[in-house]
Structure 1
Amino acid sequence: MLRRNLKHTVRNPVTVFNAVLFPIVMALMFVYVLGGAFDVGVKYIDYVTPGLIIMAVSYGLGATATAVNADMTTGVINRLKVMDVSRAAVLTGHVIETTLRAVVAVAAIVGVAFAMGFRPTASPVDWLAAAGLVLLLAFAASWLTVALGLAARSAESAGLGTVPLIMLPFLSSAFSPADTMGAGARQFAEYQPFTPIIETLRGLLTGAPSTGTALAAVAWCAGIGLAGYLWALRSFKRRA
């Protein structure tokens, strides 16, 4: 199932663009076009890279939701049910493929960030912790995306269901500090799930992680992953 999903990704240029190239385009736009408008106290590329990493994870989710929904609505699942294929593998294959795609996208955005002047001061342990957090987020978001794809009634609505996950980084501290935002937007940015994850990555990459934000980030990832897994399992049993 994983090999099948990887082949679908390779054969779909739009999926590759959304997952890998579009975050790079956003990085170039924010750093070179809009970066001068933000006063964040440090070099802007150093500030914005953690947010771009989160964007690299979220921008590839729409294709997964659409693919999962297509499996359910085009009869693929009915064909697999009469074959010697584990039903768990159908969902797990999508989750692993989405996580691997996110890893490739994150590696690409980090490479571009270094080329643009990104100079982190993280220790090897900090880098490992940052990589672990990104993997945890990608895994959790993948399960939630699979659940959204199963719950949707059409491929179009499945793709639209992931739009909030794509937009949330823009309404966080990814591109500007939350305390510089207006009333309402500031409170939303402070208490939404991506902000503590971004702040934890920012602290790890600068060698000054915060235990409070790290615990909140791990808790959000665990909660999202568990909710997505339980929702996906229930929806799959009902529809398949």
Structure 2
Amino acid sequence: MTTLAHAVGDSATMVARQLRHMLRYPSMTLLLAGMPIFFLLLFVYVFGGAMGPGTDGAAASRADYLDYIAPGIVLIAVTSAAQGTAISVAMDMTEGVVARFRTMDIARVSVLTGHVVGSLIQAMLCAGLVVAVALLIGFRPSAGPAEWLATAGLLALVSFALTWLSVALGLVAKTVESASNLPMPLVFLPFLGSGFVPTETLPTGLRWFAEFQPFTPVIDTLRGLLTGTGIGDSGVAAVAWCVGIALVSYLWARKLYERDPSV
């Protein structure tokens, strides 16, 4: 068997391991999707009537505000899944699972690959659950098949980047508890962007941060694809951010994983 075939086979085994964990503990996926669904219902039914007029002149209706915030909530679902990735990696590291894998004749790359692919699937499931709930309560996107495909592709790219970042955070964490806390800022970044209100309504300093942080172009691109609003250069910025985060996080995670276990 060639080295490539060996790595692919071992990676498939590790992905199957992660999927078995998901099937055995479906409550984790539901829990990760639960928080963004809670935010969706909270902001639509509690704040929607009041905040609607601030969203680009939209009428003061919950339906209009739902159309505005749905893309940001979907992104929160993806970032929430990142927390589960960090916890899963930290558990394997602290409970000796990875140390056991190191003694076995398996491709080293397969362990992280299993986590990344499994977590990517979980993130997309969480995003799908949020979209389903949004549709049930009145979200009516104007996207056609091409726009839905582009939306799925962008979400997959964001998930891929954040998954590698979460893998690195799980590797650098000393305990499972700290691993659960490290990705928390990712969940709240959409609140400090264009996810819930237009950035021009924010104070100057916060507005500057919101316009230049990575999640704002992602949200603007998702909103443009789903609701037919203009995207401008947000699409290019969103892809660039995702590629940059994925590359840096992958190199960081690989360095952490390949370091001497005794260090």
Q: TM-score when scaled to structure 1?
A: 0.95
Task: State the distance in 2 between where 1:139 and 1:8 align.
Answer: 19
Shift in Å at residue 20 of structure 1? 1.7
Cα offset, 1:75, TM superposition: 1.3
Give the alignment partner of residue 107 of structure 1, picking from 128, 131, 142.
Answer: 128
User: What is the one-letter code of the residue matched to 1:19?
Assistant: L
Q: Secondary structure at the match of 2:204?
A: coil
Shift of 1:78: 1.7
Give the corresponding residue for 1:47. Answer: 68
- Give the % identical residues: 48
Residue identity in the other structure for 2:86: A
Cα deviation, residue 209, structure 1? 4.2
Amino acid at match of 1:138: S
d(CA) in 2 for partners of 1:37, 1:222: 37
| Residue 150 (str. 1) matches residue 171 (str. 2) | yes
Q: Which amino acid aligns with 1:35?
A: G
Tell me which of 55, 58, 81 is aligned to 2:102: 81
Match of 1:4 among 11, 14, 17: 17
Q: Report which of the two structures shows the higher radius of gyration computed on alpha carbons.
A: 2
Indicate which of 150, 161, 164 corresponds to 2:182: 161
* Cross-structure match for 1:34: 47
Deviates most, 3-12 or 70-79: 3-12
Q: 1:126 touches 1:207 (CA, 8 Å); kept in 2?
A: no
Aligned-partner residue type, residue 81 of structure 1: R
Name the CA distance, whole Å, in 2 between partners of 1:78 and 1:47: 47
Q: Deviations over 1:139-181 (max 9, x none)?
A: 1100000011111111111111101111111111101111111
- Give the corresponding residue for 2:92: 71
Which SS does the other structure have where 2:104 is aligned? Answer: coil
Contact 2:74 2:131 in 1 (8 A): yes
> Considering only aligned residues, what root-mean-square deviation do their CA atoms show, in Å?
1.5
Shift of 1:12: 4.0
State the alpha-carbon separation in 2 of the partners of residues 153 and 89 from structure 1: 22
- Normalising by structure 2, we get a TM-score of 0.87
Aligned residue pairs, count = 240
Question: C-alpha distance in 1, partners of 2:243/2:232?
Answer: 16
Shift of 1:10: 3.8
Report if aligned partners of 2:30, 2:126 keep a CA contact under 8 Å in 1: no
Q: In structure 1, what is the Cα distance between the partners aligned to 2:40 and 2:255?
A: 38
Question: Is the contact between residue 18 and residue 59 of structure 1 (CA under 8 Å) also seen in structure 2?
Answer: no
Aligned partners of 1:19 and 1:101 also within 8 Å: no
CA deviation string 1:43-89 (max 9, x = no partner): 01110110011011011211211111121222111211222222111
